[in-house]
Amino acid sequence: MSDYLPDELVLEILHRLPAKSLIRFRCVSKSWNSLITSPTFINSHLTQSLSLFSNSNSNTLIVRHCASHPNIEHYKLFRDENDSFDQIQQLDFPVSSRRIHHFMLIGSVNGLFSLHEQERFILWNPSIKKSITLPKPCITFKIHGSVSSHLALGFDPRSNDYKVVRIAFISRNHIPGEPEIPIVEVYSLSEGSWRITSASSTFPPGISFNDWNHPAASLNGAVHFAVHDRGNACCPLVLSFDLGDEVFRMISVPNGMFNAGDSVHTSVFGGSLSLLCHDTRKHTVNKCCSIWVMKEYGVVDSWTKQFTVDLNGGIERVLGLRKNGHILVEAKV
């Protein structure tokens, strides 16, 4: 094709193709493979793709864990762009687990996935079969003793950079009766290193993270965690961390929106911040999951209940929402 068409026209055509086609076209020639996998092309293709869709997650690739064997992980790659999951190919995870049978998912943004096992962090782009192992974070078990952390992956549109956020709590630093103050470190993909930020000064006192191990939601240049106030455990909150100015902010929910003991985690639906709330009360007969969407970002009164999912009849929990409005659930085995 390049013998008959100007390079500028070829580039324009490739920019308009879906990721699935680009993956195949990498095999056309070495020059095409080099072009399609270059950071400049990936960024420009992503920018153009997002401009064509109102949903910022329309090109997100979904990885499903299929099987597990000690130190080996198997995945299939799917594209969420129509009524059925379009399987692209089966993939082997690029590294082996050292301590446990599988890595934990930190999050995914624009087809880039971040996973970890303890202090070992991986960034993986399965569509182009590339991954990197991040350097050791600044705060480690070996140096600082017992460390618990909460993690997130996000995209900072202002710096055009992907970042991993680690909110680390060091047990020996905590004075009983005093609020825990974390150390916040950020890994920048463009810089290739971790650094400790000054964000701990903006961390709200008395806040605890919900312990459901769900990825934090990335939206509007910030990552969002489901948390609660220790003084009012029945009222969840959303804690956001801005990837640009590196400041924590709180987003409230309406009073009475949830029950005490509900398991709440953040997600993104239709380009809006959303909350998935599972009723985990032991004596509740009709268990359900309510899905709330913040129609206008940052406006508390815009929270709207979008769905209520019945968790009886073989459904274990709600995993997330697809672009077409369908709900992903996990079935009981």
Phi-psi group of 321: left, alpha or beta (phi > 0 → left; psi -120 to 50 → alpha; rest → beta): beta
Handedness of CA 183, 184, 189, 191 (dihedral sign): negative
**Sequential pLDDT tens for the chain (333 residues):** 456 677 778 788 887 777 767 777 888 888 888 888 776 777 676 666 655 443 444 444 444 444 444 445 556 666 666 556 555 556 666 676 665 556 788 988 887 889 888 788 999 887 777 789 999 999 887 677 678 889 999 999 999 899 999 999 987 665 665 677 899 999 999 899 999 999 999 999 888 887 667 889 999 999 999 998 877 666 778 999 999 999 999 998 877 777 766 788 899 888 899 999 887 666 566 688 889 999 999 999 999 998 888 888 778 888 777 777 778 787 776
pLDDT at 56: 41
Helices (H), 121-167: 141-144
pLDDT at 60: 46
Amino acid at 316: E
Joined together, the tokens standing for residue 154 give 């996000």
Give the integer Cα–Cα distance in Å for 188 and 47: 20
Residues recorded for the chain:
333
Cα→Cα distances 59→33, 50, 51, 90, 227, Å: 20, 8, 11, 19, 29
Find out whether 210 and 265 touch, Cβ atoms under 8 Å: yes
For 184, phi and psi rounded to 5 degrees?
-110, 120
Is residue 294 helix, strand or coil? strand
pTM across the whole model: 0.80
Residue 189 CB-density burial (10 A; 0-12 exposed, 13-18 middle, 19+ buried):
buried
Q: Which of 191, 146, 188, 151 is nearest to 171 (CA)?
A: 146
pLDDT at 85: 59
CA dihedral angle for residue 301, residue 305, residue 306, residue 311, rounded to 10 degrees: 160
Handedness of CA 56, 79, 63, 291 (dihedral sign): positive
Cα→Cα distances 191→145, 150, 220, Å: 27, 22, 21
pLDDT at 211: 64
Q: Which of 239, 245, 282 is nearest to 262 (CA)?
A: 282
